[in-house]
Structure 1
């Protein structure tokens, strides 16, 4: 059922809301035959008032695919050729772990795809491989990330030549499977609060790694429970002194610690490893807990790019303070957040593809004595899935931009770019993974009972993805980092300092955003105006600027009585809203740029339609904020709502082409109800249960 909005409501409609609602309900139940034409196939109604866009899926796909689609296709084709390496619907934890290890070994040694080589040389290619591998099995994607981005990444980014000379080849070819041992039982996001210690012994030229209490046990360490032979252990570096203190804390550093014998695979002396057990998802990853009891490692096992200890116990660093060294160390590990944001988009692409294809296939109810219509023809279903599809496109372009900025950072090491990537990766990782987690449940619900069948993948996608909101930085903590950076930039704006690229709009036009809204433009409600990228972006940025200014005032006020920490906590929800608003502004700006850069007219028109839906849906969802400050007059708010509904309908008309442009073969989506061929979908589904 489909609602056709009347772009020019009569005065009677305005004055008689009950009559109007009845008329609209009547249109839902009995679409007027003179306004819409019947269609063939699944009885989709095509609005005569405006023709459906003619979109070439191939042209749109070519624009979307990116320069590394060839390596992704190699990943897909390899696993399609090896049915024995495909993850079955039902599998035990232990079998899943072994299968994941075989999958990774096959990818590296049989398919000849070596992800480690791209971690530093071509990060965008590495992330493309990670997205494809995660599409095969999310556990495999995370296991690969632990091996190459985390364990391997610490050797590359925190170590020096002696470390890459010794470990590179073994990490690359999987002879040295390793772990990233940062998180502890009592400390996760607060890395500076880690309690594991590494004390230098000048008599033996060794570090002694110790777990001082149960709270310091390394926890949730991927690759530790079964397969890992090495671990990068994050610990406080303690140097002996000749004063009454006895030792000096030099802050958290990273150390390479062998945990199992390379030949026998037995745990080494002083190493205690336990299995973290069955998890909500990602059971192909062998998470373990590690305790260290006076484990001795050579001094050379300190990853010493930012700080080193000499033979006689003297500490040297190119950076002047613990905080500077800590920031530099974490800055080099930001690739994990970039990868999670990028991979999360890959997950929502799969989910929205399955949900939309099924919603086009499934028919239910309809006008009396007429064929049933597809459930995607119902306005309520469009309201669930079309803004989500638009958001998926928006996230695609935003995370592509993030990967480009990250690649630029790895080449240039420019301080401004480093700061930009740090804040942008924190914000996009938090925003995209949270949105995807919520959307996976909506996709499941939109497919009714068949969405609950494990074979249709929503359960595994939802469970495996859920932890994306927590690891590589809890989302609430990451959004606070974004808010903190915004406040810093806000302060620098008024002190004449330079701003990072992401915050340019604060410098260029904050004064205009914070001025009183123009009483004329607040009432403009024409479609051309509402679909103007300038109006949309101005609205997003106005909201961010208002939130930033108001929270700065509130923090200053509360700091007098509560102190800085108390004031921050009092304003925390405000700060989180500010961070999300800013990230939405960045996402929209990158989407608008992608639309403007699209060379094919048909693809460009489709992207413009999707971009407009993304922007106006976000404005409508926060319409109370705009109304409260008179940025949008009542009639304009109503016009935004109507246009959002109409754009959802228009996007629904090209929904098949839009999801097909993601270019995900059936053997990648692997859900019978989400197959490209409607004729095959129910056939495969019934065959799966034995018919």
Structure 2
């Protein structure tokens, strides 16, 4: 009898597993549903069992989405069952802002996330949260970032325990919605040039905040126009001195109340204006702020790196203004980390929509035969397949960046801090610029249907576009990467050690710059071209060459024109150097991810994508390699042919590759990007 019961249990289990496989489209549309749903615990365990099979899509899912399933699952499930909180295609600005605030409150109060706790205790989960809510609406992702990364992060990271005790819980539960007031009308990237002042008044033990001229108006301040009650205001700390006039101690951060807690009206001396409609992200209420003799307690100075006593005496644990300024900005680097990771999420969504539609849409074909799926055309593959490879490459690179950021917060190691600062600047710049271009390519690749607002390319493109400016203009950030490379280059030749990110230059600079072996320059076999050693050496050679020539040019031009003009004369060269280095780091992390994958088929798919990422980048810059005789003509042609071949091979598994992102249909919300019934869903939008 026991055997009979056991057999029956096995049969029931097999039937349930079979039913789950038969519901594969539903599982793929709802990949994160588990014990938070109406499924039984046994069904939930079996879902995990099905997802853990050796199918390549599932193996890849584990690597690109499964790590943070506990974050994605409740977000996606909640919004599926609350359609009233899902963005309509068309919405007025004021309605969008209110919906975004309702969504944020739902995440905190209804779902129960504690974003500020995650930011301080588990940053990796916090960044996963921002990516997940970005799939709901990028305005929601940015508003969450303003409240917690910027307003909350500045209070916690730039303040001391007294600020944490007073503000932490109320920022977390949205009782204190706030702003990050750094950017001014005349100053954005040049933070040291900010003009807002905070003058200490010894008689009252207060700081007096003033906007001295029109150019000092705080501008583009998220949360300011409607919801913000407080702001972290960056201003010049002025100390009156009887002997030598006022002493300017440089830019510091201050907590400034903006609105009454009871009436929500602006407080005396605080002027608030609405920046109005933007190109995108109209769910975020950006405003402008001016201050007229606004008095705040001395305790409202965020005093981790600089403090003022009751007697008006300034003190700091850091010896110079430049070090204080660098430490202040260094604490805010998490914003760049989040933007890089969030941009990858946008690229995944766009690639999913465009590739699924390209696998559905048929156009032309041989006479008397069915029309051809447009992703079978080499031209369509050339537009979309390298983009798919890049989305995987960027995922692993930003995952590494998040890990380094977590290590930085844990260890406070100076070397790691410097590494994260440069790496976050470079990845944020490179990834956001690539994604911005890709969104337009996806729109064009989907033809007229890509132009329909309901298919989301327009909103994704417009909402994401500002990512290239947020947290530092991309061109400025790339210069920071180049400057750090040059500093490390100088240290190496003075006997110093390079930091972790630049380690590939530490011992091999001479090797990469030596005369290339003529035999190697002509090798064009597929095995050689797909060898990660060849690919990495090519990337590293280009970076080393650019670094050496940039250093020589700067040295020569500085003697002739001075350092500022020399830098300007070399600026395009330096931007190319920074991009080359970041591409090298991305490839390194992709190769490491291939090695980590334990599933044989999944590993094969990742290797395809990695080879395509590497060889496509080499081909796109083939002129550099030809000019340096690093690649002979026959080898260049072989690389081009292999890129096209790899695009075709990746196309054959494109469905599995985009499905591994596990963005549910009801979250993707683009009819042409659904897993099935695309045309019927699309037709229903207009009433058929």
Contact 1:218-1:291 at 8 Å conserved across structures: yes
Equivalent residue for 1:548? 547
Equivalent residue for 1:229? 229
Cα separation, 2, equivalents of 1:472 and 1:266: 29
Equivalent residue for 2:376? 377
Deviations 1:251-281 (A, max 9, x none): 1000000000011101000000000000000
Equivalent residue for 1:49? none
Q: Does 1:559 align with 2:558?
A: yes
Deviations 1:273-324 (A, max 9, x none): 0000000000000000000000000000000001100000000100001000
Equivalent residue for 2:678? 681
Cα separation, 1, equivalents of 2:77 and 2:555: 58
Deviations 1:538-566 (A, max 9, x none): 00000000000001111111111210000
Superposed, which structure 2 residues align to 1:41-52 within 5 Å?
none
Contact 1:55-1:654 at 8 Å conserved across structures: no
Higher mean C-alpha deviation, range 422-431 or range 498-507: 498-507
Equivalent residue for 1:167? 167
SS at the partner of 2:486?
helix
Q: Does 1:185 align with 2:216?
A: no
Equivalent residue for 1:413? 412
Equivalent residue for 2:506? 507
Superposed, which structure 2 residues align to 1:214-253 within 5 Å?
214-244=214-244, 246-253=245-252
Cα separation, 1, equivalents of 2:339 and 2:278: 19
Equivalent residue for 2:271? 272
Deviations 1:48-79 (A, max 9, x none): xxxxxx95211221122242222111111111
Higher mean C-alpha deviation, range 578-587 or range 65-74: 65-74
Equivalent residue for 1:391? 390
Equivalent residue for 2:23? none
Cα separation, 2, equivalents of 1:221 and 1:101: 16
Cα separation, 1, equivalents of 2:423 and 2:569: 25
Give the Å deviation of 1:208: 0.2
Cα separation, 2, equivalents of 1:168 and 1:70: 24
> How many residues matched?
635
SS at the partner of 2:304?
coil
Cα separation, 1, equivalents of 2:454 and 2:562: 54
SS at the partner of 1:517?
coil
Equivalent residue for 1:629? 628
Cα separation, 2, equivalents of 1:508 and 1:67: 35
Cα separation, 1, equivalents of 2:506 and 2:604: 32
Deviations 1:592-615 (A, max 9, x none): 000001111111010000000000
Equivalent residue for 1:37? none
Cα separation, 1, equivalents of 2:352 and 2:490: 44
Cα separation, 2, equivalents of 1:422 and 1:464: 25
Using the size of structure 2 for normalisation, the TM-score is 0.92
Using the size of structure 1 for normalisation, the TM-score is 0.91
Equivalent residue for 1:73? 73
Cα separation, 2, equivalents of 1:291 and 1:222: 15
Higher mean C-alpha deviation, range 145-154 or range 503-512: 503-512
Equivalent residue for 1:142? 142
Equivalent residue for 1:572? 571
SS at the partner of 1:508?
coil
Contact 1:55-1:606 at 8 Å conserved across structures: no
Q: Does 1:82 align with 2:79?
A: no
Q: Does 1:106 align with 2:116?
A: no
Give the Å deviation of 1:119: 0.7
Cα separation, 2, equivalents of 1:530 and 1:511: 23
Superposed, which structure 2 residues align to 1:221-620 within 5 Å?
221-244=221-244, 246-620=245-619
Unaligned runs of at least 5 residues, structure 1: 1-53
SS at the partner of 2:518?
coil
Q: Does 1:655 align with 2:654?
A: yes
Cα separation, 2, equivalents of 1:227 and 1:442: 36
Cα separation, 1, equivalents of 2:451 and 2:235: 44
Equivalent residue for 1:133? 133
Equivalent residue for 2:93? 93
Give the Å deviation of 1:115: 1.1
Deviations 1:390-409 (A, max 9, x none): 00000000000000000000
Deviations 1:396-444 (A, max 9, x none): 0000000000000000000000000000000000000000000000000
Superposed, which structure 2 residues align to 1:26-45 within 5 Å?
none
Equivalent residue for 1:194? 194
Contact 1:238-1:249 at 8 Å conserved across structures: yes
Contact 2:56-2:599 at 8 Å conserved across structures: no
Give the Å deviation of 1:243: 1.7
Give the Å deviation of 1:197: 0.4
Cα separation, 1, equivalents of 2:641 and 2:524: 10
Contact 1:206-1:296 at 8 Å conserved across structures: yes
Cα separation, 2, equivalents of 1:439 and 1:196: 38
Cα separation, 2, equivalents of 1:409 and 1:681: 45
Unaligned runs of at least 5 residues, structure 2: 1-53
Equivalent residue for 1:18? none
SS at the partner of 1:67?
helix
Give the Å deviation of 1:451: 0.2
Cα separation, 2, equivalents of 1:397 and 1:89: 32
Deviations 1:205-234 (A, max 9, x none): 000000000000000000000000000000
Cα separation, 1, equivalents of 2:333 and 2:62: 29
Cα separation, 1, equivalents of 2:220 and 2:123: 26
Contact 2:229-2:258 at 8 Å conserved across structures: yes
Deviations 1:16-61 (A, max 9, x none): xxxxxxxxxxxxxxxxxxxxxxxxxxxxxxxxxxxxxx95211221
Cα separation, 2, equivalents of 1:126 and 1:151: 15
Cα separation, 2, equivalents of 1:68 and 1:416: 28
Moved over 4 A (4+): none
Give the Å deviation of 1:374: 0.4
Cα separation, 2, equivalents of 1:250 and 1:408: 31
